[in-house]
Amino acid sequence: MQQVELLEQETFCWPAPQSREVALFTDLTLLSETLELAAVRGSVNLVYLQQALRQRLQRMRQVKTQQPRTIERILRELKLFGWIEPLSSGNGAGPSYRLTSAGVDALRLAQHTPRQFRRLLAEKMQEIYVIPGWFIARLWHINPQGQGEVILPLPPSDWQTRSRGWDDHGWDDEMRQQTVTAAQLARKVSASAFPIDDDDWLRAVEAAWRQLGVQRPRGAHHTATAVFSPRTRLTSAFRSAWLNLLFNRAPYKEDMIDFPGGRPPLYPRTFAGWCPRLESLELIFYTDAHPKINGRLLFPVSVFRKTAPASNFEPIMNVLDPEGDILWLHQPTWDGIRERFVQTLIAVHQQLTARRGTLYVSLLAVRDEVCRQLRISSVAFDEFLGHTLDFLPATGFPWSIAVETDVREDQASAPAQYRRPVYVNGVPHFLLGLAHLRT
Partner 1 sequence: MTDNPFLRRGGDIASTPNRYERFALRDNPFPKSPTVNPLSSDPRENGEIYCESLRAYEQKQFERLLVPSPGRADAHLMAFLMDYATRRGRGIGKTAFLTHQRRRIMDDLGNELTGGNYVIMAAHLVPEGGGRTRKFWQFVRLIAKSFNDDNCISTALWRLRAFSGVIPQDVLARIDQNNLAETLGNDRWLDSHNVSPIFVLNPAVEQMLVKAGVSVELAKTLSRDGHNPSEFEQRFLREQSDPWWRQEGYNFVFNVLPQLFQAAGISRVLLLVDEVEKMVTPQNRYERTAFVDDVRRYFVDGAYLGVHNRTYGILWTIHPYVQELWQPYWYSAGLDRVCPIGGGTSQEFTVYFKPMKPDEAAIPLVREYMNHYRFDQSSRDSLTPFTNRAVIVALEKSGGLPGPMLTLLRIALERAVEYRWAQIDEAQIESIFSSMPPSEPDELDDTPETLSPPLTDLQGEG
Q: Residue 392 in contact with residue 401, Cβ under 8 Å?
A: yes
372 in contact with partner 1 (CB under 8 A) = yes
The piece of 19-27, 62-70, 249-257, 299-307 that touches partner 1 (CB under 8 A) is: 299-307
CB of 327 to partner 1, least distance (A): 11
Considering only residues 105 through 134, tell me which ones interact with partner 1, judged by CB under 8 A. Answer: none
* Residue from the set 262, 324, 357, 426 that interacts with partner 1 by CB under 8 A: 357
Determine how β-strand 302-305 pairs with β-strand 61-63. Answer: unpaired
* Residue 433 CB coordination number (10 Å): 16
Through-space distance between the first and last CA atoms of the chain, rounded to whole angstroms: 65
Helix, strand, coil: what percent of the chain each, to 5? Answer: 45, 20, 40
Considering only residues 328 through 347, tell me which ones interact with partner 1, judged by CB under 8 A. Answer: 328, 330, 340, 344
CB of 349 to partner 1, least distance (A): 13
Q: Residue 119 in contact with residue 283, Cβ under 8 Å?
A: no
CB of 233 to partner 1, least distance (A): 16
Q: Residue 411 in contact with residue 364, Cβ under 8 Å?
A: yes
CB of 435 to partner 1, least distance (A): 16
Round to whole Å and give the CA distance between 432 and 135.
33
Q: Closest Cα to residue 142, out of 373, 304, 265, 299?
A: 299
Alpha carbon 303 to its chain's center:
16
CB of 135 to partner 1, least distance (A): 15
* Residue from the set 356, 404, 405, 437 that interacts with partner 1 by CB under 8 A: 356
Q: Residue 6 in contact with residue 53, Cβ under 8 Å?
A: no
Nearer Cβ to partner 1, position 269 or 355?
355
141 in contact with partner 1 (CB under 8 A) = no
Considering only residues 184 through 243, tell me which ones interact with partner 1, judged by CB under 8 A. Answer: 188-190, 193
Q: Closest Cα to residue 379, out of 282, 277, 246?
A: 282
CB of 12 to partner 1, least distance (A): 19
* Residue from the set 181, 236, 312, 318 that interacts with partner 1 by CB under 8 A: 312
CB of 341 to partner 1, least distance (A): 10
288 in contact with partner 1 (CB under 8 A) = no
For 123, residues 6+ apart whose C-beta sits below 8 A from its C-beta are 316, 318, 319
Go through the chain and tell me how many residues it has: 439
Nearer Cβ to partner 1, position 156 or 260?
156
Q: What is the largest CA-CA distance in the chain?
A: 74
CB of 287 to partner 1, least distance (A): 12
Nearer Cβ to partner 1, position 92 or 324?
324
Nearer Cβ to partner 1, position 42 or 336?
336
Q: Residue 97 in contact with residue 43, Cβ under 8 Å?
A: yes
Stretch 172-191: interaction string toward partner 1, x if CB under 8 A: --x-------------xxx-
305 in contact with partner 1 (CB under 8 A) = yes
* Residue 11 CB coordination number (10 Å): 7
β partners of residue 50: none
316 in contact with partner 1 (CB under 8 A) = no
CB of 234 to partner 1, least distance (A): 15
CB of 112 to partner 1, least distance (A): 29
* Residue from the set 179, 353, 362, 388 that interacts with partner 1 by CB under 8 A: 353
Q: Closest Cα to residue 66, out of 58, 77, 55, 57?
A: 55
- DSSP per residue over 183-224, as a string? HHHHHHH-GGGS---HHHHHHHHHHHHHHHHTSPPSTT--TT
430 in contact with partner 1 (CB under 8 A) = no
Round to whole Å and give the CA distance between 388 and 406.
20
The piece of 30-38, 91-99, 158-166, 197-205 that touches partner 1 (CB under 8 A) is: 158-166
50 in contact with partner 1 (CB under 8 A) = no
CB of 190 to partner 1, least distance (A): 5
Q: Distances in Å between the alpha carbon of 54 and those of 29, 63, 98, 117, 142?
A: 11, 9, 19, 20, 40
* Residue 406 CB coordination number (10 Å): 9
* Residue from the set 90, 262, 309, 415 that interacts with partner 1 by CB under 8 A: 309
* Residue from the set 64, 112, 162, 222 that interacts with partner 1 by CB under 8 A: 162
Q: Which residues bind partner 1 (CB under 8 A)?
A: 147, 149, 158, 160-162, 174, 188-190, 193, 292-293, 300-303, 305, 307-309, 312-313, 328, 330, 340, 344, 351, 353-357, 372-376
